[in-house]
Chain A
Amino acid sequence: MHKVLIVGEHDGRVLNPATAKCVTCAQGIPDADITIVLLGADTSQVAAQAASLAAVKFVLRVDRPENAHPLAAVFAPQVAALAADYSHILGPSTSFGKDLLPRVGGLLGVAQVSDLMAVEGAYRFRRPIYAGNAIVTVEADSSRKLIATVRVASFQAAPGGGNASIESKTLAVALPTHTRYVGAKSGSTDRPDLQTAARVVSGGRALGSAENFKLLFSLADKIGAAVGASRAAVDAGFAPNEMQVGQTGKIISPEMYIAIGISGAIQHLTGIKDARTIVAINKDGEAPIFEVADIGLVGDLFQIVPELTRLIGT
């Protein structure tokens, strides 16, 4: 049996769907016994959500005031203390998991497999390198613990219907005070979350301004989509950083991705190649985005996007 510990991501109210994707990944490990650990100030609400995921056996709650914000320096010693009972420690390849898991690995002296995209055995995995231009198969030392981050775009979320037992855990771990949370600024909107949305409308440098991104928002709102942006658009100040899709931004796998005015640099394609259907709208018919698009339309986005928005729902 392989005892798998998944570090759940949440904001105190909602369990991040990345956690359910880690569960699916963990199910690929032969004979996996899956536990989710939640660290927070009060995890009662999210623990119930975690316990309802199919295939999860236990949910551990580690509630203490110091866990109010997900600081890696504070969480890592607690996860490392729990690790003794597990063979595998997984977390999502989100900014939360990417920050935390290597710190746990450092504390335990264990190397990490990053961005695990396929499980081929308890200690054998596939992962992308060079912005997804190559895929490596990695074998980890089975005499050690396995620490990995899970590329969430590669896995479907585990369904509900489970009934795991929830246990509160008190850990006698001294926590550092050298790292302090100051605040956060999020561009929270009523639109679906980019990372998990079924539909995404995304804009590139060709949009020309932040103002013109409104064209995309209108289309997105009509079809219930999240809005993303290419690095070029973010660098140009047309869109905030949390909208960036690609190698260094978010890696997503929506049902439909509409790329508007995005040429399709390899770093961007890395972030979208797991999308079910890619639609490209670009005035340059030679743009690399058309090499990967399922449906392409060559033309002026400033005419096409408003017209498409108008046609939908008529």
Chain B
Amino acid sequence: MSATQVIPASSSLSQNQIQHLEKAQSLTQIVYNQFKEHKAAVFGAYTILFFVIIALSAPLIEAVTGLDSDSQNVFNRYKPPFSAVKAGTDVREHAIQQFIEQNPQVAADLQKQLLDKKIVTSAKPEDALYDWASLDKAQAIQALNQIDSAAKTDLKKIAQKFESFHILGTDELGRDVMMRLIYGTRISMGVGILVALASSLIGLLIGALAGFYGGVLDTVLMRVTDALLSLPLMPVLIVVAAIDLQKIPFIKALISSGNESILKLVFILCLFSWMTVARLVRGSILSLREREFILASKTLGATDFTVITRHMFPNVIAPMLVSVTLGVGESILFEAALSYLGLGIQPPTPSWGNMLFNAQELIYQAPFLAILPGVLILLVTISFNYLGDGLQDAIDPKAIRR
């Protein structure tokens, strides 16, 4: 506080303002107000919210646009953004075949009508529907309008699939890039958040044990923490990620589904990212241990468990929150790097990292494909980092004073 600052006389303030000043603010309010001043952090929070909504509504988007992230179309690889793509004949004929099998009578009627109205000129009536299917989407729908049949709407739905519009183009297997990015959001952010939360729980546990009990336990746990912190993470992650889980009998029985690579990645990343939280928690608990309220609760006969969980954890949550937020960004980066090297999330499950797996080969054919997932990774990671920075500023009591 500088001495030159003039403290306004109370008469210049309205009654409302005085009341507002006199009212005690809760800690959350102070933190929230402080957080709001960090514009970049607020922006980051909104960006994260946006991506979370996108990730949660992925099936909805799939239903509305009629595109899915898995259907391949090898004749339409590497289409640029904003391109319409015709479905291959195999896809069309398969749809028609299914339609005929499901309702043969309607199909026969339709075939007759198609031939009568001279929309198609097939040699055999059985071929009529297939010939209709080989028309362009617009022509096919126009043709349908001339016919009256109960199954018109069903056929129109089939015709809709003859052509698909890809806002962000298609990838090396002709899959829709936008849908893959949206589903990739689920995986990448999901893995990031899950790893950050799980590893912070591990860190909380280890830090609390080391800090509270001290002695040999503290020495051992902190040596392990220091050792893991000093390792170059990427080579270690690669060695661990390269192991074949099928060779471990116990785990083999535990996971057999297609999510194996996701679980494995989460597990591996957790294994090597709890250390910062552990050190942080240990530090806070060491200083908390000497405080009077801890002594008071011990004197009242509280068990160690109660002291740690009820009295110490609430005091370490705030700094932990910052490190969890920063951890999400870091985990997303590690997931991307491992998937890029082919050791993370395995295709066909899309993640932002494995969409870049063969990005190097794409730089001549489709540079757009090599750039887009990276932009999303950058955007989300930077948002989490700014959010963490904002939270840190908001929680730090020194910052509140300023």
> Do the two shown chains form a genuine complex with each other?
no
